[in-house]
Structure 1
Amino acid sequence: MRVLVTGATGRLGRVAVPRLRDEGFSLRAVSRRPGAGGGDGDGVEWMAADLATGAGLAEAVAGTDAVLHLASSPNRRTHEIDVLGTRRLTVAAGHAGVRHLVYVSIVGVDRVPLGYYRHKLAAEQVVAAGPVPWSVLRATQFPGFLAELLAGASRLGPVLGDPAVLAQPVDPGEVADRLAMLLRAGPSHRVADFGGPEVLRFDEAARSWLAARRSRRPLLPVRIPGRLGRELRAGALTTTATPTGTRTWADHLAHTYGGTGRR
């Protein structure tokens, strides 16, 4: 099976591309910037394509059997890239005769009132209405993203956050394994959500993170107001679907900090 991977240099793409290659998929990976991917010896065909303009998309999808759509832009030009860019991709894939498009979304896009989540939900709808048979997988947050949030929340010293917000970090490698299964299974529409093995409160995750870094910074509770806070405390970022991943938050911290600690 020849698979085109968008967003191949992103957080999930960097893990998914080598895993899919090692499992025997023939891969073409795209990045917006030429030369941003791997070298000639990585067993992957790298191409440049731009979802925001459509440049290179027709060439990228030509001759492929499936598309794994991981590209996303949460911080800038989100509507142009995530929604309109996904539409450009589905149209190009339809013209090329692609038989399966797999889109990765986020658990909670239909509940959490954030602009980025609304765009991800709109992109799901574009995929479902498009000309290519499709599958959509919603996954929970990656532990690396949670760690970045904690680092940002501690820029002023104490770790600021709503202690009752719930998260369910899932290892990107396990998501990549799930995506390989979906590619082999063929078009399945909305499949069961995929989350990590444990649901954590923000304060639990923060204390573990601080302990792994040997930091004595205090936690300063700050309640998130309004509907956003209510949804996050009610578990909008979590799922009860099974099976789940197996790699825990503690596993991530041990791998990242190795017991040596840093402040």
Structure 2
Amino acid sequence: MTTILVTGATGTLGRLVTDRLRDAGHEVRALSRHAPQYAVDLIRGGTGLDSAVCGVDTIVHCATSPRGGDEKAARNLIAAARRAGVAHLIYISIVGVDRVPLGYYRTKRAVERLTEESGLGWTVLRATQFHDLPVQLFAVLSKLPVVLLPAGVADQPVAAAEVADRLAELAQGAPAGRVADMGGPEVRTLASLARSYLKATGRRRAVVNVPLAGRTYRAFRAGGHLTPERAVGMATFEQHLAQRFEGAGRG
């Protein structure tokens, strides 16, 4: 039996990874700022982090925040992992972090580099965005009478549960370096995804594509965040919507 630490263990992905590893018979330490046993702020580090990492064989690093601090958190985690002699560090990243000049993506790429240069055995998996991200986007945009979307941009959403399955598999294996990307089953225009969301939630809105400008928009329009050759996910966006909004009104 392996002792595995999961960071961000109270988040969407971290909870799923933790459950899968426990079901597989491993001793799993669930770490986050709000975890009942290993309540640690990675950005602050400290003795609580050292205690959480002590005796751990593998770390699955799921903790992240678009508000900032990921690089400092990774440095603290890696330093603690070195002191504890951790054998394997796994990091979940995003497809396109080296192609899309978005600030959050640059941070994810920086954490990839820290992982690669950590001196630990390491594995990095990049995945496309989870189904929940476009749902959250459309929930905000559909508050207006018209849903305005960036023209020419597609997405390839993947089920968080399927990414958790892959991370759990990697955590039970040897360090593998940068592994093959993981994308959802379909590359879809944002407009088609939005219409599916509106139908599932019973909302009537016009969907309008708006041309934008800038390097980040051009990179998204060019598909820098997509991996159509690695469309290995199985669950579709419509299946996610059906599960999440079952019983929603129509009209």
**Native 8 Å contact 1:194 1:241 kept in 2:** no
| Match of residue 27 from structure 1 | 28
Task: Pick one of 66, 69, 74 that aligns with 2:61.
Answer: 69
* Structure 1: runs of 5+ lacking an equivalent: 36-45
Q: Aligned-pair distance for 1:243?
A: 6.1
**Native 8 Å contact 2:184 2:231 kept in 1:** no
| Match of residue 59 from structure 1 | 51
- 1:238 correspondence with 2:238: no
**Native 8 Å contact 2:64 2:70 kept in 1:** yes
| Match of residue 50 from structure 1 | 41
**Native 8 Å contact 1:161 1:220 kept in 2:** yes
Q: How many residues align?
A: 249
Task: Pick one of 171, 184, 188 that aligns with 1:200.
Answer: 188
**Native 8 Å contact 2:153 2:189 kept in 1:** yes
**TM alignment of 1:164-183, pairs within 5 A:** 164-183=152-171
**Native 8 Å contact 2:187 2:228 kept in 1:** no
Residue type at the aligned position of 2:87: R
| Match of residue 41 from structure 1 | none
- 1:254 correspondence with 2:242: yes
SS at structure 2 position matched to 1:211: helix
Distance 1:165 1:49 in 2: 38
Q: Aligned-pair distance for 1:59?
A: 0.7
Residue type at the aligned position of 1:33: H
- 1:92 correspondence with 2:80: yes
* Structure 2: runs of 5+ lacking an equivalent: none
- 1:145 correspondence with 2:133: yes
CA separation of 1:106 and 1:130: change in aligned 2, threshold 3 A: same
Task: Pick one of 89, 111, 118 that aligns with 2:99.
Answer: 111
Q: TM-score, normalised by structure 2?
A: 0.94
Distance 2:70 2:185 in 1: 28
Distance 1:115 1:234 in 2: 18
Q: Aligned-pair distance for 1:17?
A: 1.5
- Residue-by-residue CA offset, 1:9-30 (whole Å, 9 max, x unaligned): 1121122211221122210011
Distance 2:234 2:184 in 1: 7
- 1:190 correspondence with 2:191: no
Q: Aligned-pair distance for 1:241?
A: 4.0
Q: Aligned-pair distance for 1:262?
A: 6.2
Q: Which moved more, 1:10-19 or 1:86-95?
A: 10-19
Q: Which moved more, 1:107-116 or 1:232-241?
A: 232-241
Distance 1:70 1:260 in 2: 32
Distance 2:223 2:24 in 1: 34
Q: TM-score, normalised by structure 1?
A: 0.90
